[in-house]
Structure 1
Amino acid sequence: MKELFDSGHVYGNSKINHFRNHYELTRKNLMAKNWKRLKKKWEKEMGKKEPERFDFIPTTFELPVEYHMFVEEFKKQNGSVWIMKPIAKSQGKGIFLFTKIKDIEAWKQRSFPEKIVDSDGIIRDAPETYVVSRYITDPYLLSNRKFDLRVYTLVTSFNPLRVWVYRDGFARFSNTKYTLDSITDQYAHLTNVAVQKTAPDYDAEKGSKWSVCKLRRYLQALVGSKKVDEIFRQIDCIFLLSVMSAQKLIINDKHCFELYGYDILLDSQLKPWLLEINASPSLTASSKEDYDLKAKLVNDICDIVMTPNSTPQKVRVGDFDLIWNDGPVPPSDYPLDLWMIEAQQSMKLQKTKTICNSNVKPSLYPEYSCDDPITFVTSLPKLNSYLGFCKRQ
């Protein structure tokens, strides 16, 4: 990728499906680092502790750099379960759970670290960088099986920030009933398709995946529409805040776009947690339904990114919804005057000349600005999320 940007030249409306340093958001250690920095900045500027809705990433440390900090935290949570992940691997490779510090040493002995040559010409082991996070031990279960969500966002610009959310996605179920009695059972704890399909009795057609639309309807029947609306609004909040955490670091280019695959877990209280963000999320289909979803996803992306820059921006393209365009985008099916009232009541900001959304006339936005977009993102609790609404409303 670096060589492409350094030596290549992109002409006209040609597009590249990555930003130069997209890894600021997708490498597990950098994702956690950037989020911690954004959280501290927000607390300092606002003079308050983070609200609960900011707490969507499990306690995470980068090893070996933050090993001593991790040990200190580990000792505070006696008997807790932690999960280890290599920072640059995918498909569940190298992941394991543990409850004792000595388990890390055992893992190191089983690993095969890369070799490096120091300044004296001596070959030494290079410690692999990985992250260790508090494991969510109480996931929300369906039929006693753990699941997580793979959902998609499309970023077509980081300056100004332009974020799209795809209405569909899928829930990935474990092949084995969930239990903490055996934390080494990867089929019970890891929902990655690459892991699950190696199970002896795996069958892609027997409910290993649900569409997000189906999951939303199912949860509505269990806990009601109000609760489900709240869950998906929180997920939208995760999308925006995570992207904002890396916005100033990622090198913007008008020829670039990025499709991110978000992995979200719901705990027993239906609180969403961000597990990781994936660059180049898999587009390999495991079933006809999976193929249909991903084929439409790709077609909708092309309809967005291949549109000439001079063409007026739409807020709905296929199953993608534009939710941030250098500021919040009023929902296409929500009364603008009501949306404005809720925005003003939530923000409670003094009048300012700075306008959030360049696509809307300034007269519509007399009361709030984008000087503090983070506060805005977390301050509209009543608006419904489009995630999971896969049919045109």
Structure 2
Amino acid sequence: MKRILAGTYQSLTIRNFRLFAAGQLVSVAGTWMMVVAQDWLVLALTGDSGTALGVVTALQFAPLLLLTLYAGGLADRHDKRRLLMAVNLVSAALALSLALLVLAGRVELWHVFLFALGLGTVNAVEVPTRMAFVSELVGAELLPNASALSAAYFNCARVVGPALAGLMISWSGTAAVMLVNAASYLATVGGLRMMRPGELHRSGRRPDRVRVMDGIRLVMSRRDLLLPMVLVAVIGMLGFNFQLILPLLAKTVFHADAAEFGLLTTALAAGSLVAAFATTLRRGRPPLGLVVAAALGFGIMQALAGLAPTHAVAVVLLFGTGFGSVCFAQAANHRIQLGAAPAYRGRIMALYTLVFQGTTPFGALLVGWLSDLLGARSGLVLGGTASVVAALVVLALHLGGTTGAPPPSPRPAAFRSVRR
């Protein structure tokens, strides 16, 4: 038992990772509080419009579609630690601005739209940089463990954040939640500043020139990277729209208040947390079959959650859905990230972020429209069904393809001899 526990928390023996995890735990909790407050504010401003929620979600994720690949190049070229400090400070300023508008009683829907667009622009840089930075904190050997622990603290925050937000909205309104979120970003900045740069695992000199297309060509030339990336794209677009669906499910199907809405989100996050701890013992790169199996399990649980007859049954099924979501996301992340050379990791994780989260605007608009037309349940049923079909298609392509070792990664352009 002691050996299992030691393996589970092995990455926390590294000081830089402890500082990073502590700061992220506070910051991500604030972010999930903000998600609940923002959605509740939009519903209050629009009379429970699913379309308006879809637009907000689309605006928040649209910059990922446009800017993430470029941001991956920035992450490979520049100091990831300093880049993360800068984007977290910008996020804090955005959250504070929206909070002040709400406090002044002057907030309008277009303000929320503008905030969502600004935060999405910052996230387009932050997400791939953060993912690639984890490998610098712990090295390749501990990357699966550190990634799983990152998912664990992320989902701890998803458990605590929405529950606190529901209570705070009931007591003080949405503005107080937004102020807490603005302050929470400083925890990440503080942790990053306290790190010892000399202890980071950096792979030599950063390249002077970084070509985004090199990362895309690498994925396209490798079936072991391409197939899980395709699966990530479909499930990310149609299966991971909980931010949009759950508030609609709570208000229009179960006629729940803010606290009960928070419970639905907390159940999803609790299942995710259990899965995150379950994957901390992974060592090495998972097989594609595990990625497909996780996608199938996630899709089945999500579709069943969409058919839940009562709020209590929905809570139980959303716990299972959350478990499946992290099992899939972690398996796909490790399969893709550990299949790429370190010099490509920023660009590969930018492409991963693009297909996972950058496709969300299309899914959000479709699911928002479908929810207005057929009800909130339809969004969960659609996402679950699409996930199952995508998993079966990828499995068929894998079984029908050629076997053998993947081709070696091409050398980074910056390290080739170039005639000037």
* TM-score normalised by L of structure 1: 0.26
The structure that is helix-richer by fraction is 2
Specify the structure having the higher radius of gyration (Cα).
1
* TM-score normalised by L of structure 2: 0.24
The structure that is strand-richer by fraction is 1
